[in-house]
A and B are shown apart, each in its own frame.
Chain A
Amino acid sequence: MIKEVHMPKLSPKSDEYFFGEWQKEPGDSVEVGDILFEVETDKVVSQVESQEKGTLQAQKVAEGDTVKVGDLVATIKVA
C-alpha cells in the first residue's frame, strides 16, 4: 500500500515554508520516527519525522522549493 506524506503545519504563524534537505532517498527503508526531511520556517529548521514504516518510494518536492501546508511531499510504500 502506498501512503502519501503531506507537509505538516510547522509554524503557528505561516503556512508556507522553504523546503530544506532530504534525509531519505527513494528506495531507503524508513522507520516510524526517522527524520524524512528538513523544512525552514521563520524561526527554526524543523526535522520532520516519518509516521510510517516502509520504503520511501518517491520525493515529490525538491530542496529549495517553497511548499505549502498540505502539499504532497513524498510517498512511502508500506508493507
Chain B
Amino acid sequence: MMEKTHVTSKPQWLKVTYDQKKVDHMDDLLAGLKLNTVCAEANCPNLGECFGSGSAAFMILGPNCTRACRFCDVPHGHPAPVDLLEPARVAEATKRLGLSHVVVTSTDRDDLPDLGAGQFVATIKALRRLTPKTTIEVLTPDFQGRTDCIDAVLAAGPDVFNHNMETVRSITPHVRNRATYETSLAVLRYAKEHAPQNMYVKTGIMLGLGETDAEVYQLMDDLRAIDVDFLTIGQYVQPSPKHYQLREWVPMARYQTYYKEAVKRGFKFVASSPLVRSSYKAKEELEAVMGK
C-alpha cells in the first residue's frame, strides 16, 4: 500500500453557498415524509445547492447500511425493518417537489433475502403510478452479484441503471467492504446485456484515493469493453479522520484530461469535475443524451 500523506486545507472549489430557508424547507418536507436522502446521510458538499433547487437523491432501506466502506459516511449499523410504505412516500415527495428526474439509491442490505431489490422494484412502480412523466435513475448496491436481483430491478424499468465502481482495481479492497472490482464490473456487464435499448447503464468513481492515470484509463477501458454508457468522476472528500485518508486534491486539469480520454473511448456522457457525485445533475445528464 502506498505511503500516507496528510492532506488538509480545503481547496477553493469546495466553497459552497447555503440558503438556510430553502434547505430548511427541504428538510421539513423530507422529515415529514420520514425519508432519508444520501445527500444528508453522506453529508454531501452539494446539499445546499441541490436542496436549494429542490433536488434530492432518495436513499431507501436506510438509514443504516450493512457494510462499512472506508470512504463512506452513511452510518454502518443494525439495519431497520423494511418499511413497506416507503416507496409510496418517495413517490409522494417526488410529486410534491415536481421532480422531472428522480434518483433512488439505497443502503446495502446484505441481511435481506432479496438484498433490497424488492424495495427498488416497489419504489419504481410507485413512482410510475404517481409521477408517470418523471424519469427514474436507480443507484444500486452490487447485490452480491446476484443476477435475480438485477433482473428484478431491470424488469421494473428504470431509465438509468447506475452502480458505482467507486475506484480503480488496486484501491478497491482498501476502501470497499465486501465488494470487489470484479463483482461490480459483472453487475454492470449483466445490466447492460439485459437492459432494454432505451435504458442507460451508468457508473461513477472518486479521485484522490491514490489512483494513477494508467489505472483510471484501465478502468475506463474495462467499462467500455462492457459498453457502459455514462461515467461520473468526482473528488473524494474524507468524511472524518477515521475514514480512508485522502491522498490528493486532484487538480482541475486532470479532470479535463480524464474527460477527454473518457469521451474518446466512447462513453455517451461523461461528467468529470471535483464536485461531481453520481447523482449530481443527473437530470441534465439524461436530458443531454435523450436530446431533450
| A contact residues vs B (CB 8 Å cutoff) | 8-13, 35, 38, 40-49, 51
Which residues of B are found within 8 Å of A35, using beta-carbon distances?
17
B43–A12 contact, CB under 8 A? yes
Chain B residues, CB < 8 A from A46? 15-18, 48
| Contact among A8, A9, A13, A45 with B73 in the assembled complex (CB-CB below 8 Å) | A13
B41 contacts across to A, CB distance below 8 A: 12
Residues of B within 8 A of A11 (CB): 43
Q: Does any Cβ of A come within 8 Å of B44's Cβ?
A: yes
B residues touching A (Cβ–Cβ < 8 Å)?
10, 14-21, 40-41, 43-45, 47-48, 73, 237, 239-240
Provided the pairs A12-B43, A13-B43, A43-B43 are in contact, do residues A49 and B17 lie with their beta carbons within 8 angstroms? Answer: yes
B16, A45: Cβ atoms closer than 8 Å: yes
Query: Is A43's CB under 8 angstroms from B44's CB?
Result: yes
Q: Which residue of A lies closest to B10 (CB)?
A: A45
Interfacial chain A residues near B237, Cβ < 8 Å: 43-44
Nearest CB to that of A8 among chain B residues?
A: B20
Q: Which of B14, B19, B21 contacts A45 (CB 8 A)?
A: B14
- The answer to whether A10 and B44 touch (CB under 8 A), given A42-B240, A44-B10, A45-B10, is no
Whether A12 pairs with B16 at a CB distance below 8 angstroms is no
How many pairs of residues, A versus B, come closer than 8 Å at their CB atoms? 51
In the complex formed, the residue of B with least CB distance to A10 is B18
Residues of B within 8 A of A13 (CB): 43, 73
Q: Whose C-beta in chain B lies nearest to the C-beta of A20? A: B15
Q: Is the CB of B18 within 8 A of A48?
A: yes
Bound Cα distance A47, B43 (Å):
16
| CB closest chain-A residue, reference B18 | A46
A47 B15 Cβ-Cβ under 8 A: yes
Least CB separation from B40: chain A residue: A12
- B10, B21, B48: the one contacting A40 at CB < 8 Å is B10
- Report whether A42 and B17 are in contact in the complex, using a CB–CB cutoff of 8 Å: no
By beta carbon, the residue of chain B nearest A47 is B17
* A71 to B280 Cα, complex, angstroms: 32
Q: Are B15 and A44 in contact (CB under 8 A)?
A: yes
Complex Cα distance A38/B20, Å? Answer: 14
Closest to B12 in A: A45
Q: Which of B17, B21, B239 has the most CB of A within 10 A?
A: B17
A13–B18 CA distance with the chains assembled, in angstroms: 16
* Interchain nearest-CB distance for B39 vs A (Å): 8
A70 nearest CB across to chain B (Å): 12
Query: Nearest Cβ distance between residue B277 and chain A, in whole angstroms?
Result: 11
Distance A44 CA – B45 CA, assembled complex (angstroms)? 6
Interchain nearest-CB distance for B30 vs A (Å): 10
> Chain B residues with Cβ under 8 A from A42's Cβ?
43, 239-240
- Provide the residues of chain A in CB contact with B19, threshold 8 Å: 49
A5 to B20, CA, bound (A): 12
- Give A23 Cβ to nearest chain B Cβ, in Å: 11
Identify 7 residue pairs between A and B in the complex whose beta-carbon atoms are under 8 Å apart, listed by A's number. A10-B48, A11-B43, A13-B43, A48-B18, A49-B17, A49-B19, A51-B21
11 additional A-B pairs beyond A45-B10, A49-B19, beta carbons within 8 Å, are A12-B41, A12-B47, A40-B10, A42-B239, A43-B14, A43-B239, A44-B10, A45-B14, A46-B16, A46-B17, A47-B17
In the bound complex, residues from chain A placing their C-beta under 8 Å from that of B20 are 8-9, 48, 51
B27 to chain A, nearest CB (A): 8
